[in-house]
Amino acid sequence: MPNQPTPSSLPHLPSDAPRLQLRGIGKVYPGVVANEGVDLAVQPGEIRAVLGENGAGKSTLMKIIYGVTRPSAGHLFWEGMEVHVENPAHARSLGIGMVFQHFSLFETLTVVENVALALPGNPALDELAQRITEVSERYGLPVDPRRRVHALSVGERQRVEIIRCLLQNPRLLIMDEPTSVLTPQAVRKLFATLRQLSAEGCSILYISHKLDEIQELCHTATVLRGGKVTGECIPAQETPQSMARMMIGKDLPHCVHGAARTDGELRLRLAGLSHASEDPFGTDLEDIHLDVRAGEIVGIAGVSGNGQQELLRAISGEEVLAEKFPVQICGVEAGRLKPAERRRLGLCFVPEERLGRGAVPGMSLADNALLTAARGQGMLAGGFVRFARARDFARQCIAAFNVKCGGPDAAAKSLSGGNLQKFIVGREILQAPRLLVCAQPTWGVDVGAATFIRQSLIDLRDRGCAVLVISEELDELFEICDRIAVIAQGRLSPTRPAATTTLEDIGVWMSGMWPAADLEHQPPAGMPTEPADA
């Protein structure tokens, strides 16, 4: 490593040294400085937040600690001794565990098989499955150890990552956006678990864009901007606004929007949608009715794994239905249409999984633009692909949505999670859809970018688009939605105006217990209905 002091020239660490200490850590990629001169220390039992915008270098720094990435410069000390973490297995042997934002799970394996790969030795799967069940129940993170990962929702995969880490009994636990797709109830239980681990001496590095969570949970915080440490603070002595200013260098913007239209054209109708999940562990959809009109945003809340994934696939066309009438898009019965045919009707779609479903990791941003925007943006002509047009579109998206990347030829996997999310959302919005369906639109996105995405959805609504948002961020739904419904056990509640609905109402409805009287307002299949706020 160039320009580093020799170990003998470094100051001696005292016997009560931090559990982890970083000195002058740097990481340089071709054309990008991800980290530069980072100093950071974590004491036993300390919960330290690492704050910063998307692309500030937080995840790169955590990957260096966990052995996924080698630093270009600097020194790492573990319990007073300098170490070179060779790989994640070496990190785990030291007592370092990590919950990734982008999940490191094998999709074709079951939950218990994935967990077994992270544990030493060759644990018996039956016994391990029982341990997983016990831990998941104890910490309020329910997951079936027999299910294959490819059939799990994003929220369920998040639970698997957390459970797998807890089973390793780490002395340092790194958590990268661990609550991004957890329900408020699960977050409360996770925080209780983390406080218990902290009291037992476990150190925790906690990355989150939810500043209220940082304020509630963390003892200290380190702020990164442009790969450098720009400040430290005690979150309990700050406000979310002051921490946001430390992160982005300015006051946090707020969403601005007017009243929704109540007489817009019907763009999406679910007319008694019932569909058996293709996954034997999935959730069957049961008699779902929903109307979404031009000029409004309708939100769907719910605990992960209650049919959101099945509903999204039924709307997007990834699962073609036996009948055509249960899904109607812009006046056309679309239940039997494939995804490309539904897109030609005016549907655009932002899936919850960024890598693999929203974008192909190894392909450039320009090539990823071709995947969904080719026909409507003039990228095809006479049977040939106009790659220059694809690059121009990707360049426009990068500029309009402030995507930090190496340009339109950058691979999708080279972007931070939040920047890739901005690109995917921008790619769909710039196609001027008649109907936009978004799942977890601000998952893992920093506070400034999340506000920008939400404002973009509001602006799209104001231009006459119908928007359906499925999210486990209740604050997000209340901020941007005109009407809100809840999905529970494959059933959908009636919609209610967000302005006259409370968090407590939604929390009760998440259990499937919405007032029986409201069911009378559910329309029979195929019958028109007025918006709930008309």
Q: Where are the chain's structural domains?
A: 1-95+170-252, 104-169, 253-346+433-525, 357-432
Tell me how far apart the alpha carbons of residues 242 and 144 are, in angstroms, rounded to a whole number: 41
**pLDDT for res 183:** 67
Per-residue model confidence as pLDDT tens digits over 113-130: 999 988 888 889 999 999
Do β-strands 435-439 and 384-385 pair in parallel, antiparallel, or remain unpaired?
unpaired
**pLDDT for res 520:** 37
Q: Which residue has the tokens 């957890």?
A: 182
**pLDDT for res 528:** 37
Q: What is the chain's mean pLDDT, rounded?
A: 86
Q: What are phi and psi of 532, to 5 degrees?
A: -65, -25
**pLDDT for res 13:** 44
What does the angle CA 13 – CA 66 – CA 97 come to, to the nearest 5 degrees?
Answer: 95
Which pLDDT band, with edges at 50, 70 and 90, does 252 fall under?
low
Maximum distance among all alpha carbons in the chain?
79
Tell me how far apart the alpha carbons of residues 199 and 93 are, in angstroms, rounded to a whole number: 22
Per-residue model confidence as pLDDT tens digits over 312-371: 999 999 999 999 999 999 999 999 999 999 999 999 999 988 888 899 999 999 999 999
**pLDDT for res 298:** 97
**pLDDT for res 179:** 78
The residue with greater pLDDT, 250 or 19, is 19
Q: Classify domain 253-346+433-525 at the CATH class level.
A: alpha beta
Over range 227-256, report the average pLDDT.
Answer: 84
CB burial of residue 450 (10 Å; 0-12, 13-18, 19+): buried
What does the angle CA 390 – CA 393 – CA 394 come to, to the nearest 5 degrees?
Answer: 85
Per-residue model confidence as pLDDT tens digits over 10-67: 444 444 679 999 999 999 987 788 999 999 999 999 999 999 887 788 989 999 999 9
- Which residues neighbour 504 within 8 Å (Cβ) at sequence distance 6 or greater? none
Over range 397-406, report the average pLDDT.
Answer: 92
The residue with greater pLDDT, 261 or 206, is 206
**pLDDT for res 102:** 67
DSSP letters of 313-353? Answer: HHHHTSS--S-STTEEETTEE-TT--HHHHHHTTEEEE-S-
Quick one: tokens of 147?
A: 């299910």
Which pLDDT band, with edges at 50, 70 and 90, does 527 fall under?
very low
Q: Give the containing element (helix H, strand E) for 286.
A: strand 285-293
Which pLDDT band, with edges at 50, 70 and 90, does 448 fall under?
confident
Residue type, 20: L
CATH number for the domain running over 1-95+170-252: 3.40.50.300
Lowest average pLDDT, out of 293-307, 410-424, 507-521, goes to: 507-521
**pLDDT for res 8:** 35
Q: What are phi and psi of 48, to 5 degrees?
A: -110, 125
Over range 144-167, report the average pLDDT.
Answer: 86
**pLDDT for res 119:** 84
**pLDDT for res 529:** 38
Instruction: Name 175's bridge partners.
Output: 99, 206
**pLDDT for res 376:** 81
Handedness of CA 122, 123, 126, 132 (dihedral sign): negative
**Is 1-95+170-252's fold the same as 253-346+433-525's?**
yes
Per-residue model confidence as pLDDT tens digits over 499-525: 999 888 887 888 788 876 444 344 433
Quick one: tokens of 316?
A: 């997007």
Residue 2 has pLDDT above 50, yes or no: no
Q: What is the pTM of this model?
A: 0.69
**pLDDT for res 516:** 62
Per-residue model confidence as pLDDT tens digits over 178-225: 876 666 777 887 888 889 889 989 999 999 888 888 999 999 999 998
